[in-house]
Structure 1
């Protein structure tokens, strides 16, 4: 069985984007007042959250995990215009919340997924969400917060040569973890990366973004989680974000790298459960 397999297959929901694309999300449809929308990182997909769906969190909370545009089973338009407008990313998340009827969800963004949530917050605000969780969130453009492993692997991941892209994908996936992943997991995550077409990769990464004004205006509770051994997004990323969002709670997770929700799923899930237990709005 694949290390990214679901013990109980979640419902696959289809919804439309504001530019008329077909998008996909997984939904465990648990009937509860606690809902997490789990937004994956760059060149990944919703399957990376399988440990959360399979574990205690998936029993006690409703989990919704989209495949972002250009990723997974969602539409992969080859036009740069489908990726350069932050309003489109914001609308995708808004339309997902509307289509699923999610009430006061907690938005959870991993790496690039944190940017998608910031696009949503810029255009829709935080009034309709209960809280925000960013793990290894790529929220600041300062390259001083980027690890050498990312800077070394990323050019290959964007190369036109498929073999070089494969090498870059492998280096990128390896660098997600504090300890090298076992071959089945490495191969599964490399395969997820490999399903992102070259033209989509090139068109997706061109935006230079500044979210500091959005972060400074947040009013809902914010939790920042970051692996102490993250070699892709250095812990300084979240540490610096915590100075922009003064009420944010910052937790550095020992023994984990960039994929802390895979490396130590139980501990990650406990942090999410503790976070929602402390929320007042909507719970």
Structure 2
């Protein structure tokens, strides 16, 4: 069991995006260690990364996570363009990097969080980061890469409360091959329930410049997927990523679904540490 050392710290702050959206930032770990910025996925929050921020990673690394716009404790604009425009999500990440003064962070983006990384790379390039990890990442919002669950996504966008919440519960269940502890699942469902309905109605049409972003990345990039992902077609997504950028490394967890950092946290943390050490040594 990990116990925080005297050198670790916990800090909460905010950043403001160029369009005025306030972003909630949570930081822990070794303030002198290499920074890692964790970016959660659709309906999530910074709490998705508990198995990382409460692990031995905190002894060596500066661990930064934030709530995406429309999620958690961050602001929830009602303007549809605030969610459709992928540049705004990129601007959010850049604002977090600036606000925390993170020097050459490694970006770790889960699912929708991977599109944030791609849009960041397309907008700001990779000069300010050391590397990027796509965790069961959405490469493109394309039907051939995404496992079809039309009724679930339709329900998530419903204005009927029962339909909406039931669909969110089904979506979260699809995230795991190895179902998490009840307390964790219930906390995730609560986070989903407070996510912006406006966001959920339009986020599937977010613009993603993966060719201009991932395609031009010269820093180390790791594509990490669960082989039993029931939301993303891992083999198709990996093939597309390698077509766009042949230098990306890949890793597949045979026993995980869409959330290997929850389903196999010890292995995930070891692999993240190894990647960060490699990326920041360059």
Q: Is the Cα–Cα contact under 8 Å of residues 37 and 63 in structure 2 kept in the other structure?
A: yes
Please give the alpha-carbon distance, in whole angstroms, between the structure 1 residues aligned to 2:280 and 2:20: 36
| Deviation readout 1:219-264 (Å, 9 max, x if unpaired) | 1100010001000112121232123211111001111000110111
Identify the residue that residue 164 of structure 1 maps to in structure 2: 163
Secondary structure in 1 matching 2:250: strand
Cα deviation for residue 205 of structure 1 reads: 3.1
Secondary structure in 1 matching 2:208: coil
Identify the residue that residue 63 of structure 1 maps to in structure 2: 63
Identify the residue that residue 202 of structure 1 maps to in structure 2: 201
Number of matched pairs = 276
Please give the alpha-carbon distance, in whole angstroms, between the structure 1 residues aligned to 2:265 and 2:218: 28
Task: State which drifts further: 161-170 or 180-189.
Answer: 180-189
Cα deviation for residue 121 of structure 1 reads: 0.9
Cα deviation for residue 120 of structure 1 reads: 1.1
Q: Is the Cα–Cα contact under 8 Å of residues 226 and 252 in structure 1 kept in the other structure?
A: yes
Identify the residue that residue 153 of structure 1 maps to in structure 2: 152
Identify the residue that residue 102 of structure 1 maps to in structure 2: 102
Please give the alpha-carbon distance, in whole angstroms, between the structure 1 residues aligned to 2:20 and 2:231: 34
Cα deviation for residue 280 of structure 1 reads: 5.3
Aligned-residue CA RMSD (Å):
2.0
Closer/same/farther in 2, CA of residues 227 and 68 from structure 1, 3 Å limit: same
Identify the residue that residue 3 of structure 1 maps to in structure 2: none
Cα deviation for residue 31 of structure 1 reads: 2.3
TM-score when normalising by structure 1: 0.91
TM-score when normalising by structure 2: 0.92
Task: State which drifts further: 206-215 or 175-184.
Answer: 206-215
Identify the residue that residue 182 of structure 2 maps to in structure 1: 183
Q: Which runs of 5+ in 1 are unaligned?
A: 1-5
Please give the alpha-carbon distance, in whole angstroms, between the structure 2 residues aligned to 1:235 and 1:132: 18
Please give the alpha-carbon distance, in whole angstroms, between the structure 1 residues aligned to 2:280 and 2:102: 17
| Deviation readout 1:95-150 (Å, 9 max, x if unpaired) | 111111100000111000011111111111001100010011101233122124x4
Q: Which runs of 5+ in 2 are unaligned?
A: none
